[in-house]
Amino acid sequence: MSVGTDIVPMAQPVLGEAEERAVIEVLRSGQLSLGPRIPAFEEAFAARLGAAHASAVSSGTAGLHLALRAAGVGPGDEVVTSPFSFVASANSVLFEHARPVFADIDPVTLNLDPAAAAAAVTERTTALLPVHIFGYPADLPAFERLGLPLVEDACEALGAVHADGTPIGARGHPAVFGFYANKQLTTGEGGMVTTADAAVKERLDSERNQGRAPDLGWLDHDRLGFNYRLSDLHAAIGLVQLERLDAMLAGRARAAALYRDALGGLERERGLRLPCRDHDGDRRGWFVFVVQLPGDTDRDATIRALRDLGVQSKPYLPAIHLMSFYRERYGHRPGEFPVAEDVAGRSVALPFFPELGEPQVARVGEALERVLR
């Protein structure tokens, strides 16, 4: 393959024969759902993180919905969260007819700012929903001091570690991971909720399965539930991916280091902002490599120019409160969350995956040099 002419893609999952064999095994077993791979995947995932329990679900979004319900969020409640996230984190609050109340983000970590979150709390606030955006740990000790139930959106943060050495997802609050194809670990679609609380685990397991309690008979249901189950086919892929996780995380970290070298000149001389470095003991679980363009740059034109040079890139992420649905529903306007809006207006995700090679990173770097200088 000539790296000079091929397109550098945004993402590329690492999948191999082991995943193929695992899927075929499930197909041959005839037990495609509600089978033994679900508890096996849950136990392996919980053990990997050092979490007491884990519940597999059909997506990160489904996990967020169930975790918020378990935290007691209901109609008319408010949940304080970040406007700089994937839309699912705010949408999941709406599923319960509660209101996502946004607060601005920290300009360095791009995570929900604890002081801004504290200022947004009212007597109707029933939970906080910090997001470990781009895999960088949110300041959980600061949120914990606010004394409200917490749900962590860890969909982008597998492999991240808090300053005290605790992996993200092992702090006890429900923490929700996503396994979409671009994630650190993928099952195609899927998710996992970790928790320290056995009662929460029981509720999640029931509500993902139409409200069926484990001790109830077939088609006996004692509460409202959903179909948020993960299939055994997905869980089988997840089990293999878990074995690859260290290598895949190391691949992403290596790709990030290559980018830092390749883009260092643009950072120093042209004002390109790179993802913050690990600091104060927190460690990122690398998910995406998102840069913020210098303020005088036309982002759409930059993305088009990169594409013409064979490099894919995307605006990532748009601010949730300025999406048309949120503007119309809640009357949000530009200027409410200046840091999030500034970052959202300048951010571009570059190609990023574990097997991204040095020549590909060099090509992205050269393309950015040509476009930005």
Ligand X SMILES: Cc1ncc(COP(=O)(O)O)c(C=O)c1O
| Mask for 155-184, x = binds ligand X (CB under 6 A) | xx---------------------x-x----
Would you give the distance in Å from CA 22 to the centre of its chain? 25
Q: 161 — phi, psi (to 5°)?
A: -135, 135
| 191 near ligand X (CB under 6 A) | yes
- Residues 55-84 close enough to bind ligand X by CB under 6 A: 59-61
Site for ligand X in 340-369 (CB under 6 A): none
Examine residue 285 and tell whether it contacts ligand X (CB under 6 A).
no
Annotation says 183 is catalytic: yes
Out of 41, 86, 102, 259, the only residue in the binding site for ligand X (CB under 6 A) is: 86
Which CB, 153 or 341, lies closer to ligand X?
A: 153
- State in angstroms the smallest separation of the CB of 354 from ligand X: 17
Q: Does 111 bind ligand X (CB under 6 A)?
A: no
User: Which residue in the set 71, 93, 116, 131 belongs to the binding site for ligand X (CB under 6 A)?
Assistant: 131
- What is the smallest separation between the CB atom of 296 and ligand X, expressed in angstroms? 29
Q: β-strands 78-81, 175-178: how paired?
A: unpaired
Residues counted in the chain: 373
Secondary structure of 15-27 in HEC code, one letter for each residue: CCHHHHHHHHHHH
**Residue 222 three-state SS:** coil
Q: Which is nearer to ligand X, 180 or 289 (CB)?
A: 180
Q: Is 232 in the site for ligand X (CB under 6 A)?
A: no
Q: How far apart are CA 370 and CA 332, in angstroms?
A: 37
Q: Which one from 173, 183, 201, 332 is the annotated catalytic residue?
A: 183
Q: Which whole-number Å values give the CA distances from 267 to 87, 263, 271, 291, 373, in the listed order?
A: 29, 6, 5, 10, 12
Going by C-alpha positions, the residue among 192, 180, 207 that lies closest to residue 48 is 192
Q: How far apart are CA 316 and CA 291, in angstroms?
A: 9
CB of 246 to ligand X, least distance (A): 22
Distance CA 132, CA 153 (A): 6
- Which residues bind to ligand X, rule: CB under 6 A? 59-61, 85-86, 88-89, 131, 153, 155-156, 178, 180, 191
Q: Which residues are catalytic?
A: 183
